[in-house]
Chain A
């Protein structure tokens, strides 16, 4: 009950502080710009001939992946910048003192703030991502293989980074917690590339290092799940051939879907890290 109350408070704050309006307007600008670019691509004429439909779709698929990559960074930053202050600011300014003197569990505050942030980001991913994919389809006729799965994985990225930001914010100032959470996302992404290089070069140590980081902070594993769900089969085949021939590594292509065990690990990671954060918050003197 109280978890919903704190989640609702977080959502109301985002609306009242005009963050929702600002993000919605900026997203509309990006969507409009994408629509214009894709329209130009679909109607472009090369050597007096319109570009062939398969080529348009392949280009659109590449653009979708790049947009999703940009989107994953925006989501991760949003998770860090919204999730961390939701707790740390209320501790720093004393807002939480009168609240926790009520019959409220600290776990309810932490989980409510986490839930509110994840819900806000999930709605953003679903609406903005959905609109963007519809625009791509309308302009080029291209539809990624599993758009809903991809959006689901992106929401997973948001949940992982929000979890880190929330847990860090129970012990650290908002700025530190937010920056560390965003850096962890970046480090995990780099580790994912290291893992890809390791696999392509047959270097087990590099591949293992990447795997270990993916287990410690599973945001990149989820991003790769989204990537696989977005890329057409031909991209997957090209990436697999490149790996097999050792001809290079494309950080924006994967060769296999996210293993279910890694997905289960990511879900378990969120639960365990949140629980650890709640315990740390309970032990904190305010």
Chain B
């Protein structure tokens, strides 16, 4: 079994004169969770749609689970939650899942459907029509559809955009469970804090180009010094970690009143903004 779940080589998409995506070269290992970040219009959803075979690339190539994108048999091993979607409002959630189970030729469908309904917390409303669902519930249903059939790789395009804080926390926990099972997760999200918490690696795209890629730690950098909140506000001190107690003692000795001390670390959001705004 190849160790790469996804390999993209110079993947590009042009719509007439508009370049939606340039030269996306990317490798995602099996079991890895990749955060795919970028501002609106950066080409994230286009990239995801190309990787699941809905949009034809105008340049480059990509393999998913060892097969060229769009391979029909491989699509049975892929889960996909689109960014903008709706399910037929006249069907119940259980019927939507049963329909997808038939498309997947899924054996033991009722059990599999029950499992994904539990996974996303929709079992109690499973027999209600989708038309009666809130936006958040529809997003949970979308997640259930994506998880049906225990896919080896899941593409989640803004999976929490319609969810409240509880829902977002549930999705984070869900992604962690997927990772624990060895499922590869390709997470397309605006929510940087979310990505920082659940992803192993991050790829940042802007205006159709990859502007940074690496592990979360490598992108945010190691902590450098501390920030101390004093009466007059925050001050930064460039000290090594083992020098922090002495620094605090010195400041107190000088009569300063200390309200907080925290590592002076670049967050993913800081890094993202510097890359996107600096471009």
Contacts and interface: CB of A to CB of B under 8 A. Distances in A.
Query: Which of A94, A101, A283 counts the most chain B CB atoms within 10 A?
Result: A101
Interface string B161-182: 0000000000000000000000
Contacts of B99: 5, 9
Given A5-B102, A94-B84, A16 B90 contact: yes
Contacts, number: 70
Given A16-B90, A97-B80, A285-B56, A105 B72 contact: yes
Contact of A94 (B82, B100, B146): B82
Contacts of B240: none
Contacts of A5: 99, 102-103
B142 A98 contact: yes
B82 A103 contact: no
A286 B90 CA distance: 23
Given A17-B90, A95-B86, A286-B49, A103 B54 contact: no
B48 to A, nearest CB: 10
B123 interface: no
Interface string B75-91: 11010111011111011
B71 to A, nearest CB: 9
21 contacts: A9-B99, A16-B91, A17-B90, A94-B86, A95-B86, A95-B88, A97-B80, A98-B142, A98-B145, A99-B100, A99-B103, A101-B52, A101-B80, A103-B75, A104-B75, A104-B103, A283-B56, A285-B15, A285-B54, A286-B49, A286-B55
A100 interface: yes
Given A98-B145, A103-B72, A285-B54, A2 B103 contact: yes
A101 B85 CA distance: 13
B6 to A, nearest CB: 14
B91 to A, nearest CB: 8
A285 B14 CA distance: 11
Query: Which of A93, A94, A105, A285 counts the most chain B CB atoms within 10 A?
Result: A285
A101 B76 contact: no
B73 interface: yes
Contacts of B75: 101-104
Interface string A12-30: 0100110000000000000
Interface residues of A, number: 21
Given A104-B103, A285-B54, A286-B49, A98 B90 contact: no
Contacts of A99: 100, 103
B109 interface: no
Interface string A262-276: 000000000000000
Nearest to B71: A103
A97 B86 CA distance: 9
A98 B55 contact: no
B53 interface: yes
Contact of A102 (B15, B81, B104): B104
A93 to B, nearest CB: 4
Closest 7 CB pairs of A and B: A94-B85, A97-B82, A101-B80, A102-B103, A93-B86, A16-B90, A285-B55
Interface string A99-125: 111111100000000000000000000
A13 B102 CA distance: 17
A193 B145 CA distance: 52
A98 B103 CA distance: 11
